[in-house]
Amino acid sequence: MSTTGSRLNGKVAVITGGASGIGAATARLFTQHGARVLLADMRDEAGAALAEELGDAAQFERVDVTAEADVANAVAAAEREWGRIDCIFNNAGFGGALGPLDETSEEDFAITLDVLVKGVFFGMKHAAPVMKRQRSGSIINTASIAALQGGWAPHIYSAAKAAVVALTRSVALEMAEWNVRANCICPGLIATPLAVGRGFSDQVVARFKDAMADEQPIQRVGEPEDIAHCALWLASDESTFVTGQAHVVDGGATLGRAWNAQPAWMRRQRPITVYRPPGR
Ligand SMILES: NC(=O)c1ccc[n+]([C@@H]2O[C@H](COP(=O)([O-])OP(=O)(O)OC[C@H]3O[C@@H](n4cnc5c(N)ncnc54)[C@H](O)[C@@H]3O)[C@@H](O)[C@H]2O)c1
């Protein structure tokens, strides 16, 4: 599905969580469209390997997004290397605290919010001065459909992603004065190591993807490139009038149940008639 072109020619992007899944797919697509990307991630090996694959257009920095100094250094490194920052994609994430409410520890609560909310906050905070000086920039944060609907992810993850949506809107209002936009993407089920798991055989992954596809109104699994293409549009000059929005990319997963799939008793209650204006 990936494309090549010039939609990001001359632009510089920082991508957190850039060593895997959605972040890695976005880094590939951005460079195919002329951008230079700084990959910021905790996975040294995967991050360095991807940077090597992408050549001069990419650089890897080891970053823990919960450490403010790490994030500040990554932003500074991108500006030092390429002289500007047009986009920061605050995308690093994990599943966070699992399990029932009454078994969730304060420690697990804290680390989940640290990675998913504080990490996004640090990215926006440190990119902001550069973008304000330029009087342009696109901040993109990865939220989730779990921010919008119950049942897609664990409690604290869902709360954290809802916080990302609210934070994005609030920041968008402040930054608009400097022509800096802030949007988030709410992915549905996307076949990345986060959703599928790491270290499984290709066969197990394929079975899992089939099962995921069955859950989507659009009868295929969501791929990291589906999110990368939304990020490409948000990073490009095609979306310069779009800010403060939560863009849902989920194959229709949050739309509810199709009318013709409602139980028969529900469909039967409604008479099959068409409203006609009087006299017709
Ligand atoms: N896969 C899905 O179904 C799905 C759905 C909705 C939202 N998301 C979100 O998409 C984003 C990307 O996830 P993915 O699915 O590509 O998963 P992934 O596991 O493939 O990639 C996540 C990356 O984030 C990095 N990361 C985690 N904690 C970090 C930290 N503290 N500092 C720096 N890097 C860190 C990981 O090392 C990894 O490379 C996450 O924010 C996730 O919550 C994913």
pLDDT digits 0-9 by tens, 4-25 = 999 999 999 999 999 999 999 9
| Domain assignment present for 71 | yes
- Residue 66 is given by DSSP the state T
- pLDDT value of position 271: 59
Domain presence at residue 1: no
* Domain extent for 198: 12-269
Q: Is 243 within a domain?
A: yes
Asked whether residue 4 is assigned to any structural domain, the reply reads: no
Q: Which residues line ligand 1 (CB under 6 A)?
A: 16-17, 19-23, 41-43, 63-66, 91-94, 115, 119, 142, 144, 187, 189-190, 192-195
- List helix spans (H) across 83-223: 106-113, 119-134, 155-175, 193-196, 202-214
Q: Which two tokens stand for residue 254?
A: 């949050």
Instruction: Tell me the C-alpha distance between 191 and 49, whole Å.
Output: 21
Q: Whose CA is nearest to atom 1 of ligand 1?
A: 190
pLDDT, residue 44, reads 98
Averaged over successive runs of 10 residues, the pLDDT of the chain (280 residues) comes to 89 98 98 98 98 98 98 98 98 96 97 98 98 98 98 97 98 98 97 88 88 89 97 98 98 91 76 73
Structure tokens at 120: 């996004």
What pLDDT, on the 0 to 100 scale, is given for residue 266?
Answer: 78
| Tokens standing for residue 60 | 């890897």
Dist. CA 93 → ligand 1 center (Å): 3
Residues 4, 23: Cα–Cα separation, whole Å? 17
How many domains are contained in the chain? Answer: 1
C-alpha neighbours within 13 Å on the C-beta side of residue 240: 11
Domain-embedded: residue 168: yes
Query: For residue 251, is it within any domain?
Result: yes
* Confidence (pLDDT) at 1: 65
Q: Using CA atoms in the order 208, 54, 11, 182, what is the torsion angle rounded to 10 degrees?
A: 20
Quick one: pLDDT at residue 39? 98
**Tell me, what CATH number does 242's domain have?**
3.40.50.720
Quick check: is 122 in a domain?
A: yes
Q: How many CA atoms lie within 13 A of 155 on its CB side?
A: 13
Is 275 within a domain? no
Q: 275 catalytic, yes or no?
A: no
**pLDDT of amino acid 96:** 96
Q: Annotated catalytic, 157?
A: yes
